[in-house]
Structure 1
Amino acid sequence: MPLVALRDEALGYGAGAVLRQITLSVAPGERVVLLGRSGAGKSTLLGALHDRIVGGGHRVALVPQDHALVPQLSVRHNVLMGRLDDRSAAYNLTSLLRVRSRDRAEIDAILDRVGLGEEAPRAVEGLSGGQKQRTALARALYRGGAALIADEPVSAVDEGQAGRLLDEMSAAFGTAILALHDVGQARAFATRLIGLRGGRIAFDAAPGEIGAGELERLYAA
């Protein structure tokens, strides 16, 4: 049974459809990467899949492209927010004053894994773009869930660090749906690549089944 399925759907914001005739399903255990030029509709499709999975009663960890962090709060507090909906209002309020030791230990272990251990008490507003991106990923790792949905989660870090972070995602989540701009990273991570062009799905196949010509056409002007 698929975790999520779309059937011949038009997707977009407001009155305009960005994507049309979208039919796809994602099964538990798949690692799906969306490819395409800027504006092809990757974020739109990720948003639709996120909403459907959550609507189906599943827990989802999310790494949005804009990070969705609170600048004035520390890295540690921003990661803590990954589980706000698991706890009472009183618990969350007191955690703003002082993070409990059991939460701190778990969060700091995750921050070490993404290379931010020394930044835990630092306000997010003082971080670099790559550090903010890793904070958002740490929040998703702390949240956990049936699936990870991430929109360009390693675009602001170097190639070696990106590979390590993608490995962390793969190990932490049985199912993942990502948008990536680097084709090499996508091929290494994915069990399935979906290319978007002209408002439609241009291809949907295993990485080994997609040739260089198809990728060139996907990104052609």
Structure 2
Amino acid sequence: MVLLKPLKKWVDLQYQSPSGILGLYFGEKMVLQHQPETLWTIELLKLRHEERVLEIGCGAGYAIKKVLLHPHVQFVAGLDISTSVLRSAKLRNRQSLRKGTAEVLLGNVSDIPLDNESFTKVFSIHSLYFWDVSSQTVSELYRVLKPNGTVTLTICNGKDGETWTGVQSMVEELLIPLMIQTGFKDVKIVKGPSSRGYHTIAVGGGK
């Protein structure tokens, strides 16, 4: 059991910020694991016209590729803290990168390296757990959104009928109050599909 603790810590770090050759493996593993939540989240975006989309924690770029298939999407940017998975994202979306309809960037949600009011939609899938959920972070999401834009943050809050009280508390007692305080409108939680026994929710709001 003692030996398993360092191993679990290392695996958790790979999920947070994949690195090295094994980081490429973890990036692709997450693509397969998170397909149900990814497709559901893209549906929630309700992509309609002349959309400019930002994904926070884009990983290996699967969601970017799926969003770019939508006829009303003009441009998609992906942000991640891992250079390893960004290599995969660039490879997966190389044609769109060449055409200028996609961009992938190294960076952190607390200091997004993009201009004010650049995006109609901002979303993330399973990256919120690793954020410093603060007024600075929520303000950054608000800053890069265009007026009437929306943010959609997808996570799991439990498994096999059990609610993770830590995650639920973070959402209800920290994230949502900060979003309302920052100026987000119609902030709500939407229940999503069960994936591998995990309970999926999305926290959404508009500018």
Higher RCO (Cα < 8 Å, 6 or more apart)? 1
Q: Normalising to structure 2: TM-score of the pair?
A: 0.34
Bigger CA radius of gyration: 1
